[in-house]
Amino acid sequence: MKTPGTEVITSISKDEMMSVLQSLCKFERVAGTEEDLQAAEFLLSKLKEYGIRCEMHEFQSYVSRPIHAEFSVYAPYQETLQSVTHSFGQPTPPEGVSGELVHVDGASVGDVSGKIALTQGGLRPGRVLALERAGAAAIVNISSDNRFHQGITTGIWGTPALREAADIPRIPVVSLLKDDAERLAEACAQTTASVHLKAEVFIGWKPLRIPVAYIDGKDPEKFLLVGGHSCSWWEGATDNGTGNACALELARILHKHRDTLDRSVRIAWWPGHSQARYSASAWYSDAMWQELHDGCLGYLNIDSPGVRNATEYTIRAMAELEDFNREVVEHETGKPISGYYAGKRRPPRTSDQSFWGVGIPSLRVSSMIPEDHEDFAGTPGSAGAWWWHTDEDTIDKASADVMETDTRILATLALQLVNALVLPYRPSRMAEEITGRVNELNEDVSSTFDLSKIIRYAERFAEHAARLESKIEELDDGKPEAVASVNDCLLRLSRIINPVLRTEVGRFYHEPVAAKPLLPGLSHAAELTQCAEGGDVYGFTLTQTMREANRVTDCLARATEAIERVL
Ligand SMILES: [Zn+2]
């Protein structure tokens, strides 16, 4: 691997990052508010101050901002409890909602019609829609601890398209602190409990602004896209003020040494993550689709770096970039990724991963608090800290030293990717992932659906991927045309495979927030084993499976053909 320019790394300034973080934390960066727009203007002004070519995009986003909640117990005891409401929780009528409270425990929602459901996971989009469709009048979420963690209830990715709008939640949601909620759950088990709640929530259209920095290398059309959300909850120092400061520092140092870049880097700050479910990155993906498709080498997301006591490292990469991502991070940290964090390899369906439909491979590095540290609470942001999405995510939780280390690793990832002669993608890792998933699925469905044709196509693709990698090994001093055609082929493979491997909705829509298996479309085949042969559901599922099988064989055939052309 080529050693990155040490001059780039040594120009990282902790003082500059801390000063940016201090400025950002003065704004409460809730998407769609005046302060959020001011924060975007501040980021743009810093890019201009550094002399970086930049622009501001503006678009209309469907956003939601929780304003106020009230909650009272009427029976079996009388008490007013602290509560909050959430993004895309439905506002109640001004007089509020009253009714019987039922404790919904476990996976199924049971009989909640006309009642108020007290439940854990009450912000999870799947849970919210299930309770709404079962006729619940409102949801009372049991917080994971005795702090209010803000969040969003919709699972629609980005601003909804017309065909997605039916899944916008239409049910009020409030959260109670864990102890208060558990006391109520006990009361529900003994007797009939009745409660009253009010929720005031803004839901509507607001302009959001996306600052974008362009650091042009020798090839301006091939670029790494770096992004991280700029909106937050409360002060949001470590989720994601630190990330915004690291991204700005990355822009500054790469721009300063732009003559060392073979390809380009584009850096974006996304609003609409926290209060509009990734609407800015989704909009950018929609607005720039063709340009991203043709030129984007990878998406590097920056979320919650630079947290105090974050000494462990983890990566989240797609199969083709996993080895590269891991090697750089292990080299830079001087230790293997191990233990708790080693098993979390692929990006989850969160964190502005808005480019799966385009087929762009993503990579990521996250510094994390060790599992046995007192600040660790296993939360999904702020390096796993207990203060994630609370009003205690304040600037004292950030560390200039960790920000410096994290920026060095981010810069190394960016430099090595844009300066690689041959892009560091491993098509054989994609092949392993596909073959593994098809074989796993075959074990479940072999009695109901014949996957042997797909297995043959997958094996053929795997053979070709291995041959391509052998060819790449011989390319080190290769002719420029041969290197260029291999790089084009590697990009094309990602574009062909990722939308089928990771999405059900395809290339031009965004997969909603839900954990799905690889090959999510074909995976419905497993449902054939759960329904009665000859029935309607069986027939419809079989029809869908046949079509999804064609999507997979077509993808494998096109990927194999793309490799054949360069062998
Ligand atoms: Zn975050």
What's the CA gap between 161 and 184, in Å, rounded? 39
For residue 342, name the pLDDT band (cuts at 50, 70, 90).
Answer: confident
What average pLDDT does the structure give for the chain? 95
Q: Write a three-state SS string for 364-421.
A: CEEEECCCCCCCECCCCCHHHECCCCCCCCCHHHECHHHHHHHHHHHHHHHHHHHHCC
CB 159 within 8 A of CB 279: yes
- Measured in Å, residue 256 CA sits from the centre of ligand 1 at 28
**Nearest CA to 241 among 387, 398, 87, 363?**
398
Residue 2: predicted pLDDT: 46
- Measured in Å, residue 98 CA sits from the centre of ligand 1 at 34
All residues at 6 or more sequence positions from 536 whose CB lies less than 8 Å from its CB, including other chains: none
Residues 42-97: pLDDT tens digits?
A: 999 999 999 999 999 999 999 999 999 999 999 999 999 999 999 999 999 999 99
For residue 26, name the pLDDT band (cuts at 50, 70, 90).
Answer: very high
- Measured in Å, residue 381 CA sits from the centre of ligand 1 at 5
CB 8 within 8 A of CB 258: no
- Measured in Å, residue 80 CA sits from the centre of ligand 1 at 32
- Measured in Å, residue 305 CA sits from the centre of ligand 1 at 9
Give backbone dihedrals phi and psi of 68, rounded to 5 degrees, phi first: -160, 145
Residues 117-139: pLDDT tens digits?
A: 999 999 999 999 999 999 999 99
For residue 3, name the pLDDT band (cuts at 50, 70, 90).
Answer: low
- Measured in Å, residue 278 CA sits from the centre of ligand 1 at 11
Residues 289-305: pLDDT tens digits?
A: 999 999 999 999 999 99
64-202 matches 6-63+206-419 in CATH topology? no
- Measured in Å, residue 243 CA sits from the centre of ligand 1 at 8
Is the confidence at residue 4, as pLDDT, over 80? no
- Measured in Å, residue 149 CA sits from the centre of ligand 1 at 13
Helix (H) or strand (E) holding 205: strand 193-215
Is the confidence at residue 1, as pLDDT, over 60? no
CB 120 within 8 A of CB 142: yes
Residue 259: predicted pLDDT: 94
- Measured in Å, residue 152 CA sits from the centre of ligand 1 at 12
More confident of the two residues 477 and 435: 435
Q: What is the CATH number of domain 64-202?
A: 3.50.30.30
How large is the average pLDDT for residues 350-365?
96
What's the CA gap between 361 and 476, in Å, rounded? 23
Residue 7: predicted pLDDT: 81
* 551 burial level (CB within 10 Å; 0-12, 13-18, 19+): middle
Domain 6-63+206-419 CATH class label: alpha beta
Q: Where are the domains of the chain?
A: 6-63+206-419, 64-202, 427-566
- Measured in Å, residue 368 CA sits from the centre of ligand 1 at 13
- Measured in Å, residue 395 CA sits from the centre of ligand 1 at 15
CB 382 within 8 A of CB 398: no
Residue 5: predicted pLDDT: 65
Give the right CATH number for 427-566 from 3.40.50.9100, 3.90.950.20, 1.20.1250.20, 1.20.930.40.
1.20.930.40
- Measured in Å, residue 567 CA sits from the centre of ligand 1 at 42
What's the CA gap between 135 and 114, in Å, rounded? 6
The pTM (predicted TM-score) of the whole model is: 0.95
CB 359 within 8 A of CB 507: yes
Q: What percent of the chain has pLDDT over 90?
A: 90
How large is the average pLDDT for residues 135-159?
96
* Interior/surface letters 133-149, b for 16+ CB within 10 angstroms, e for the rest: ebebbbbbbbbeeebbb
Residue 544: predicted pLDDT: 96
CB 75 within 8 A of CB 193: yes
What token pair was written down for 14? Answer: 């902790």
Residues 237-284: pLDDT tens digits?
A: 999 999 999 999 999 999 999 999 999 999 999 999 989 999 999 999
For residue 533, name the pLDDT band (cuts at 50, 70, 90).
Answer: confident
**Nearest CA to 541 among 520, 527, 530, 551?**
527
Residue 338: predicted pLDDT: 83
Residue 6: predicted pLDDT: 77
Partner residues linked to 67 by β-bridges: none
Residue 474: predicted pLDDT: 86
CB 227 within 8 A of CB 299: yes
Is the confidence at residue 198, as pLDDT, over 70? yes
